[in-house]
Structure 1
Amino acid sequence: MAGFLKLLRNNRNYRCTWMGQVVSEVGDNFNNIAVFALVMDQTHSGLAISGVMLARAVGMITAGPVAGVVLDRVDRRKAMIVSDLVRAAIAMCFLFCTGQRSTGLLIFLSALLMFASPFFTSGRASILPVIASKAELHTANSLTQTTQWTSVAIGAFLGGATAKGLGYNVAFGFNALSFLVSAACISLLRVPFGASFKAERRDISEDRVARPWQEYREGLAYMGRTPLILAIALVGVGWATGGGAAQILFSLFGEVVFQRGAAGIGEVWGAAGIGLIVGGIVANVWGKKLRFEAYKRLIVVCYIIHGGAYVLFSISRSYGLALFFIGLSRAAVAVSSVMNFTQMLRHVPDEFRGRVFSTMESMVWATMMISMLVAGLASVTVDPRIIGVVAGVLSTTTALGWGWAQARGLLPEPPLSGVNPEEIEVHGEASV
């Protein structure tokens, strides 16, 4: 925690980004819980929740390639501000959804909101090596992800309570306001000396016509010839085979299995968020000590714990135990996520960051879409606990693929991108 506080105290650019992140992501989770609870009120159907989540997935998948090319061509700070302003306008439109019997508008707006998101989220990831020094990079990545997960916990608990006590319109209104605050914070960023919020590109120049598809293919080609980056992307896909179903199951477990209404949905999401926070803090400490080979072993361990704990969450009859196991499951995911993102920030060249991060988001959401669709259809006739067990087992298979590639020596460390090994916070190899 001392490292987090030092970073916030000493780095103005990161502090501004972090403040905007806190407000906007808490607002996002107000929206998430309000939407899920409203859909359950209107339909009492896991299939309807699946429809909302599928719409979000379609929005994210569609936007990913476009956002990647845009972020690697334009000033990323400006792209993030535009994304915030567009999302504020869309979020206000959710006010028209209350009092309606149909979920059609909710589904449409959910897709639009997610379409606008990668321009911000991938942009934030892409500028992190610009606003954080080389020595700060791992801590900045850890704090960014831990803050995201803290927002899940706080936003889920408060969003559930707000939706239940003050109504859905208050939750939707706060979400819209949060994007405006985020845009204001991002507008305060200043380019560090000798750096730029626009990627340095060797493959294009200002006087050449944009070739979006060709540029996107170049990003894919970079991932294909860099085994570690491709493997990290596939880890996300492996997690999403069960992780997509989890998005449906959280609402079903809170509302149907444990019969606790909107507050129960918020509590399940909140427990998951607490686990992510704990995992993020642990990863921040371990990441400063772990060398590359130990990092690869740790990923295997993380996904075995994640899948096993999710299975236990699904079969627990005690509400308290269920919350504990979902927290443990998410803690393991958090450790893996922080470690993987730090590796990408250290190794992916600036010219490819926008395309790499947005492509990974699209790959994960495409897989989640299939997982959510299957889980939503299954929820009509199959016990949610059985669906949860299958989802946990699927997510665990990620460990098998990564472990096999590691054992075969297929995951060498790529060249560092603008980072000298002695400047990285690694002090010795920890055993895993």
Structure 2
Amino acid sequence: MSGRTALLRDNRDFSRFWWGQALTALGARVSDVCIPLLVLDLTGSALWAGALLTVRLIVLNVARLPAGALADRWDRRTVMIVVDLLRAVLWAVLAVAILTGVESVWPLAIVGVVDGLVSSIYNPSLAAALRHLVRPDDITKAVSLNESRSYAASLIGPAVGGGLYAVAHWIPFAVNAVTFLFCTYLVIRITSGLGGRHVTQERLTSDMWSGLRYVFTQPFLRTLTLWSAVLNFATAAAFFGMVPMLVGLKTPAAVIGAMSAVTAAGALLGSLIAPRLVATGAFRAVILGGVVVAGAVTAVAVVPSMPVVVAALALLGATAPVLIIAMTAEVYHVVDDSMMARAQSTMTLVGSLLYPISTIVMGWLLQYHGPGPAYGVMAVALAGCVLFTLARPVRAQLSPEPVASRPLVPEESRHAY
């Protein structure tokens, strides 16, 4: 913990970067919980509420590959400033529309589409900029701090958003707009270069395909991406299935509602302890995390009861950030800066391809086969990931060395504090 605190205290540029993203993460969680509430108030339709969120996700994923190529071409600081200003205006206009009594879902739909588009280029720019702000041996701590920030926002944001929405429907969206303005100010104050502007003579489509080729021709990145796709599918299905299973066990609604807090608290704890685990070797941390996740899901399959589900949720929540931090830190070691945004966009897109069908598959398994077989299938998928990773040919492709033992970028490319 002291090393993480020292990084925030001593590295002013990273501190500005981190606090800016902490504010916008909180603002996003505040508004996220209010969008479906507002849609339900306007239309009374759960279908509309789900459709708007789905449209944003579709736009975000469709735009990932071209956005990643553009993020490598353009100056990352400029991208972050322009996008944050645009989002500030976007959410402020929405807040004004609500305040003045606009009773239509179309402003929300437009905000969702535009926000999805600009987020598709902002996110890889953000990820690629991190390596320019911290020294190579601090990258794991920085990634851990970023994960802690996200989980803390998920823990606090929904309650804050619900409270503000109860006061006045427009306030949560105005708060979100203000967080983007503060983030813009903090990014402007960063003195280090954030990379980007990698000159290319290729067409945009060629740059997009080069990102795909880059990921799938490197054994480590290819294995990690496919591993993530299965892991995301199985864990998303496991999380989703626990709610209908608890309902079937006649669990009180208040207890079910507290499950998200248990998961978020576990994730926050996991993000705090992850650097120590990853310091022993990213490969070991990934294997250990995979075993814990598979074990937790197996326990639910064997003993589908409320205490086991609660324990499994806490374990899954605590293990997820360990896996994310270990994988992300290793990616920073092997991906060249000129390809970082494209690689990040490609890996995120492919890693989330199975995510949309996870809830449907789990719902079908629960409906027709019950919780034991449903969670048994997910446990087998997760155990298969671990066994696949332990296979000798795959282990030869992966690096078990501690993160701090290898340079992140060439010495001349490192930015001073």
Q: 2:294 aligns with which of 258, 282, 304?
A: 304
Give, in whole Å, the separation in 1 of the partners of 2:154 and 2:187: 21
Which position in structure 1 is the counterpart of 2:207?
A: 215
Q: 1:338 aligns with which of 296, 317, 325?
A: 325
Which position in structure 2 is the counterpart of 1:79?
A: 79
Letter in 2 for 1:350: D
1:273 corresponds to 2:268: no
Q: 1:395 to 1:412 in 2, by over 3 A?
A: same
Q: 1:382-407 CA deviation, whole Å, 9 max, x = no partner?
A: 87x96999489548624413421431
Give, in whole Å, the separation in 2 of the partners of 1:3 and 1:18: 15
Which position in structure 2 is the counterpart of 1:19?
A: 19
TM-aligned CA deviation for residue 316 of structure 1: 5.4
Letter in 1 for 2:272: I
Q: Normalising by structure 2, report the TM-score.
A: 0.81
Give SS of 1:412's match: helix
Q: 2:315 aligns with which of 307, 316, 328?
A: 328
Q: 1:286-334 CA deviation, whole Å, 9 max, x = no partner?
A: 112x225423422421431464578799x6558xx86664333221111
State which drifts further: 45-54 or 178-187.
45-54
Alignment of 1:185-196 (within 5 A): 185-191=186-192, 196=193
Give, in whole Å, the separation in 2 of the partners of 1:308 and 1:247: 13
Which position in structure 1 is the counterpart of 2:181?
A: 180
Which position in structure 1 is the counterpart of 2:391?
A: 407
Give, in whole Å, the separation in 1 of the partners of 2:305 and 2:395: 37
Give, in whole Å, the separation in 2 of the partners of 1:231 and 1:101: 48
Q: 1:90-142 CA deviation, whole Å, 9 max, x = no partner?
A: 32344346978765554443233222213222212111111100121111111
Contact 2:293 2:315 in 1 (8 A): no
Give, in whole Å, the separation in 1 of the partners of 2:62 and 2:357: 15
How many residues are aligned here?
Answer: 403
Give, in whole Å, the separation in 2 of the partners of 1:78 and 1:388: 51
Q: 1:202-225 CA deviation, whole Å, 9 max, x = no partner?
A: xx44xx3x5111111111111112
Q: 1:50 to 1:302 in 2, by over 3 A?
A: farther
Q: Could you list the runs of 5+ residues in structure 2 that have no partner in the other structure?
A: 409-417
1:125 corresponds to 2:116: no
Q: 1:189-236 CA deviation, whole Å, 9 max, x = no partner?
A: 112xxxx423475xx44xx3x511111111111111212212222233
Q: 1:414 to 1:130 in 2, by over 3 A?
A: farther
Alignment of 1:145-156 (within 5 A): 145-156=147-158
Give, in whole Å, the separation in 2 of the partners of 1:85 and 1:133: 29
State which drifts further: 399-408 or 168-177.
399-408
TM-aligned CA deviation for residue 167 of structure 1: 3.7
Q: 1:123 to 1:392 in 2, by over 3 A?
A: farther
1:283 corresponds to 2:274: yes
% identical equivalent positions? 21
RMSD after superposition: 4.0
Which position in structure 1 is the counterpart of 2:413?
A: none
Q: 1:331 to 1:311 in 2, by over 3 A?
A: farther
Give, in whole Å, the separation in 1 of the partners of 2:247 and 2:318: 23
Give SS of 2:396's match: coil
1:135 corresponds to 2:152: no
Letter in 2 for 1:291: G
Q: 1:340 to 1:13 in 2, by over 3 A?
A: same
Contact 1:61 1:363 in 2 (8 A): no
1:232 corresponds to 2:219: no
TM-aligned CA deviation for residue 76 of structure 1: 0.8
Letter in 2 for 1:345: Y
Which position in structure 2 is the counterpart of 1:33?
A: 33
Give, in whole Å, the separation in 2 of the partners of 1:294 and 1:240: 19
Q: Could you list the runs of 5+ residues in structure 1 that have no partner in the other structure?
A: 425-432
1:171 corresponds to 2:161: no
Give, in whole Å, the separation in 2 of the partners of 1:413 and 1:144: 27
